Each structure stands twice: as structure tokens, then as C-alpha cells.
């Protein structure tokens, strides 16, 4: 008879199939790792033990693993665990580094978090308590986003696997994302993703991150680690409002402007002073105009503002103010007769439309050449 639900009693008293299962729950990893139950084997508690390693030896090992089907994430992780296994034996000897294979290409090619960073962070999480691990991982990930990679040390090392020999171009990615990091490097180096140089670049970075992880851990366990990571000023500036103290709607250490630009960029919008109690969009001046005209508007309360230019067919020509957040006040900006791509538009009638909160008003403007 098929049982859909298995009670605790079934578990304990039923056939050997369940009995093994019950013991597996206790023996955990040991049984799973070996594929069979090892009676009396020792269970290792988390965090796993660590011993100081030579970063340069780890670098070479990680690079070798990259080229031996382990790729970036398991390569970084395994570069460290292989050497821990050599010096400590268990539990490292039986830890399957393949658990980290998913992280290659920022997660099987998704280009999200760089696999090396994933691999290094997983290792840190395995050997340190949750509390301090955050600072160590921040140090590693922050370093990656601000460093010239591959490092000089990576370019100068002598590797076991020599699929490409010679210096590789270096760049600062500014981002922990595999996608930004790889694509920007390809751009700088003039290479394609499938090129041997790009693969060697990621192999060298695998070594870089493994070596850096070990440096951080060596310091941490020697009691000499001092974290240097802080949010870049540009991120901190955005977080003064978007962080938990005020708006509380953003959680990231990544460079905001790399994706958003600056949505609050009010350059070209001048606050002309004075207070206002009404929404207003004034007639542009001069009008008719060529090539530039001034547009004045007022908003009585802080809010998102859009000022857009449409042609006579109702087609959007230029988003002069694209959902920027302005304080209450009187403003003046310009339209220089161009579209969003910066091309001069032809003579004719155009409309400027101001939108903020529930307010919307349109004025008619005449461009003559
Ligand atoms: C002075 C405070 C302040 C600062 C500094 C600030 N923001 Fe904002 N931001 C706001 C407010 C308020 C909103 C509007 C929230 C809403 O619409 O719910 C907003 C909205 C946004 C939005 C949504 C825009 C939209 O169109 O809805 C983005 C994206 C954003 N901010 C990004 C940034 C970035 C990037 C930075 C740093 C370059 C930054 N903010 C700095 C206060 C700020
Ligand atoms: C890797 C790209 C990326 C980075 C880096 C990033 N964001 Fe975003 N952010 C997005 C995407 C994508 C969305 C969702 C789509 C959207 O609304 O633009 C979003 C949404 C938002 C929103 C809500 C937008 C809305 O319409 O209300 C705010 C606010 C915001 N981000 C602010 C920030 C701030 C501040 C930072 C830096 C501390 C930041 N973002 C970093 C990609 C990014």
C-alpha cells in the first residue's frame, strides 16, 4: 500500500528504506557526501575549521580548477577548499565543490553576481559566524568593484594551465555583476565573450578572488582584520534619502547611477526663487523662437515633475524633465529645439506639457527657422 504521508512512527519502525532515511537525518552531510552511511563517522559542526593558506598557492589552484570544468564560482571555492583539504583533511576532503557550479557566468549564464564573488563569499560563510562574515564579504565584494582586474599579480603569475600566456587588459568594473564586469572588459579589451582571452581573464580573476578571500580570512583568524569597506560616496548620497532612515525603499551597495543615471539630475532646471501656492506653466519666451526658448513653471509642493515636448501629431519629441523629483518652487528651463536623441527638429508648432501630481497643462510653441 502506498502511503502519502509518513508519520514519525512509520519512520522509526518501517522497513530499512525508511530506517536509513531516519539515520541520514542525523548523520547528514557525511552520508550524503559518501553516498552511503559511514557508521561512527564524525559530524562537523558549522563553522568549518580554517587554517591560514598561502594566497599565491590558492591563486594557482583556483586558476587550474577554472580550466578544469569548475569555472569561476566552484573554481574560487575549490581553489581554497582543495588546499584546506591538503592541510587539514576532513571535513574538507569530502566537501563537494560542485555545489558551487551553479554560480558560473553569474548563475548559469544569467550574469547576476560574479561567480568568483559567490564562491569566495560561500567559503567565508562556511568558516565564519554569521555576524562577522558580513564585513569580510563586504571587503571582498567592495574590493572587486574598485580594483583593476585581473590584478598585476594575476598577470604576472605562472600558471599550471597555460591556454593563454601574456598580460591581459585590465579594467575596473564598478559593479559586482558578472554581466557588467564581463561586457565592460570585452569593450576595453576589444574581445568577444567566447574568445580565449576573455576566458583566461575570468580564470585569472578566479585566482584573484580566491587569493583575496584567503588574505581576508588569514587576517581575520590572526585577529588583524580591519574592514575598509564603506559605500562609495555616490551611493551613500542616494542612500541618505533612500536608506532606512528616510524613504527605506532601497537595499543595495551597488552603484545606483550605473543603472538609473541620476533621476534627480536637475541640471538645466533653475530654481528662480520665491514661493508659490499654485501649479503654473507659463507661456514660453521668446515665442516664436529660434533656436532656444525658455519655459517657466511652478509647483506648490514637492513631487515628481515631467515636462515633455510633443509635435503636432502628438508624438513625444523630447522629455526635458523626465520624472525628476523637485521641491516646491518656481523654475525655469530651456528647450533648444532638439529631440531626445539631440537632433534638431524642423520648423512648426510644438506643445510643452507639464505634469506633476494631478496637475497637467500644455502650452503651444512656434519654432521658426
Ligand atoms: C534628498 C533626498 C533624495 C536623494 C538624495 C535621492 N533621492 Fe531618489 N527619490 C527621492 C524621493 C522623495 C523620491 C520619490 C519617491 C516616490 O516617488 O515615492 C525619489 C525617487 C527616486 C526614484 C524613482 C524615480 C521615479 O521616477 O519614480 C529613483 C530611481 C531614485 N529616486 C533614485 C535615486 C538615486 C540614484 C539617487 C542618487 C543619485 C537618489 N535617488 C537620491 C529622494 C531622494
Ligand atoms: C543593477 C542595476 C541597478 C542598480 C545598481 C540600482 N538599481 Fe534601483 N532599480 C533597478 C531596477 C531595474 C528597478 C526597477 C525598475 C525601475 O523602476 O526602474 C529599480 C528600482 C528602484 C527604485 C524604485 C523605482 C520606482 O519607480 O519607484 C528606486 C527608488 C531605486 N531603484 C533606487 C536605487 C538606488 C538609490 C540605488 C543605489 C543605492 C539603486 N537603485 C541601484 C536597477 C538598479
pLDDT tens digits, 21-54? 333 334 444 444 444 445 555 678 999 999 999 9
Q: What percent of the chain has pLDDT over 90?
A: 80
Judge whether residue 8 has pLDDT over 70: no
Residues 321 and 299 sit within 8 Å (Cβ to Cβ): no
Q: What is the pLDDT of residue 38?
A: 52
Which H helix or E strand runs over 108?
none
Task: Taking residues 128-132, report their average pLDDT.
Answer: 97
Task: Taking residues 333-353, report their average pLDDT.
Answer: 94
Domain residue limits, the chain: 1-43, 55-222, 269-367
What is the band of 17 on the pLDDT scale with cuts at 50, 70, 90? Answer: very low
Residue 256 alpha carbon to ligand 2 centre in Å: 7
Q: Whose CA is nearest to atom 41 of ligand 1?
A: 238
Residues 198 and 189 sit within 8 Å (Cβ to Cβ): yes
Q: What percent of the chain has pLDDT over 70?
A: 89
256 lines ligand 2 (CB under 6 A): yes
125 lines ligand 2 (CB under 6 A): no
Residue 354 alpha carbon to ligand 1 centre in Å: 19
Compute the mean pLDDT over every residue in the chain, rounded to the nearest whole number. Answer: 89
256 lines ligand 1 (CB under 6 A): yes
Task: Taking residues 154-181, report their average pLDDT.
Answer: 97
Task: Taking residues 163-173, report their average pLDDT.
Answer: 97
Judge whether residue 356 has pLDDT over 60: yes
Task: Taking residues 291-307, report their average pLDDT.
Answer: 94
Whether this model's pTM surpasses 0.85: no
Task: Taking residues 243-266, report their average pLDDT.
Answer: 88
Q: Whose CA is nearest to atom 2 of ligand 2?
A: 259
Residues 120 and 143 sit within 8 Å (Cβ to Cβ): no
Q: What is the pLDDT of residue 32?
A: 46
Q: Which atom of ligand 1 is nearest to the CA of 240?
A: 5
87 lines ligand 2 (CB under 6 A): no
Residue 169 alpha carbon to ligand 2 centre in Å: 31
Tell me which DSSP letter residue 156 carries. Answer: H
**First CA to last CA distance, the chain:** 89
235 lines ligand 2 (CB under 6 A): yes
HSE-up of 40 (CA within 13 Å, CB side)?
A: 0
Q: What is the pLDDT of residue 292?
A: 95
Judge whether residue 179 has pLDDT over 90: yes
250 lines ligand 2 (CB under 6 A): yes
Class of domain 269-367: mainly beta
Judge whether residue 103 has pLDDT over 90: yes
Q: How far is CA 49 from the centre of its chain?
A: 30
Task: Taking residues 83-98, report their average pLDDT.
Answer: 96
Q: Which atom of ligand 1 is nearest to the CA of 261?
A: 35
Backbone angles phi, psi at 325, to 5 degrees: -95, 110
Task: Taking residues 118-129, report their average pLDDT.
Answer: 98
User: For residues 122 and 126, what is the distance between their CA atoms, to the nearest angstrom?
Assistant: 6
Amino acid at each position: 500500500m502506498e502511503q502519502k504521508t509518513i508519520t514519525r512512527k512509520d519512520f522509526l519502525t518501517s522497513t530499512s528504506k525508511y530506517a536509513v532515511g531516519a539515520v541520514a537525518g542525523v548523520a547528514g552531510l557525511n552520508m550524503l557526501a559518501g553516498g552511503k552511511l559511514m557508521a561512527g563517522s564524525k559530524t562537523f559542526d558549522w563553522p568549518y575549521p580554517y587554517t591560514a593558506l598561502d594566497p599565491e598557492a590558492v591563486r594557482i589552484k583556483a586558476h587550474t580548477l577554472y580550466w578544469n570544468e569548475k569555472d569561476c564560482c566552484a573554481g574560487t571555492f575549490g581553489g581554497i577548499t582543495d588546499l584546506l583539504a591538503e592541510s587539514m583533511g576532513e571535513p574538507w576532503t569530502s566537501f563537494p565543490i560542485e555545489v558551487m557550479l551553479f554560480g558560473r557566468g553569474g548563475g548559469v549564464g544569467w550574469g547576476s553576481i560574479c561567480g568568483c564573488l559567490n564562491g569566495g563569499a560561500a567559503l567565508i560563510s562556511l568558516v565564519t559566524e554569521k555576524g562577522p562574515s558580513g564585513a569580510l564579504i563586504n571587503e571582498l565584494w567592495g574590493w572587486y568593484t574598485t580594483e583593476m582586474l585581473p590584478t598585476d599579480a594575476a598577470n604576472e603569475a605562472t600558471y599550471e594551465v597555460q591556454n593563454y600566456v601574456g598580460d591581459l587588459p585590465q579594467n575596473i568594473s564598478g559593479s559586482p555583476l558578472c554581466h557588467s564586469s564581463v561586457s565592460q572588459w570585452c569593450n576595453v579589451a576589444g574581445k568577444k565573450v567566447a574568445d580565449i582571452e576573455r576566458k583566461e581573464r575570468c580564470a585569472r580573476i578566479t585566482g584573484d578572488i580566491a587569493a583575496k578571500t584567503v588574505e581576508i580570512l588569514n587576517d581575520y583568524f590572526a585577529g588583524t582584520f580591519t574592514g575598509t569597506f564603506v559605500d562609495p560616496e555616490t551611493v551613500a548620497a542616494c542612500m541618505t534619502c533612500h536608506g532606512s532612515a528616510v524613504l527605506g525603499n532601497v537595499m543595495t551597495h551597488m552603484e545606483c547611477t550605473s543603472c538609473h543615471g541620476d533621476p534627480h539630475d536637475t541640471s538645466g532646471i533653475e530654481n528662480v526663487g520665491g514661493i508659490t501656492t499654485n501649479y503654473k506653466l507659463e507661456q514660453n519666451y521668446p515665442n516664436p523662437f529660434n533656436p532656444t526658448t525658455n519655459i517657466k513653471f511652478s509647483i506648490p509642493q514637492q513631487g515628481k515633475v515631467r515636462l515633455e515636448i510633443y509635435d503636432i501629431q502628438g508624438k513625444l519629441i523630447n522629455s526635458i524633465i523626465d520624472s525628476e523629483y523637485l521641491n516646491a518652487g518656481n523654475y525655469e528651463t530651456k528647450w533648444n529645439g532638439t529631440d531626445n536623441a539631440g537632433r534638431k527638429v524642423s520648423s512648426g508648432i510644438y506643445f510643452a506639457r507639464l505634469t506633476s501630481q494631478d496637475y497637467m497643462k500644455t502650452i503651444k510653441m512656434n519654432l521658426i527657422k
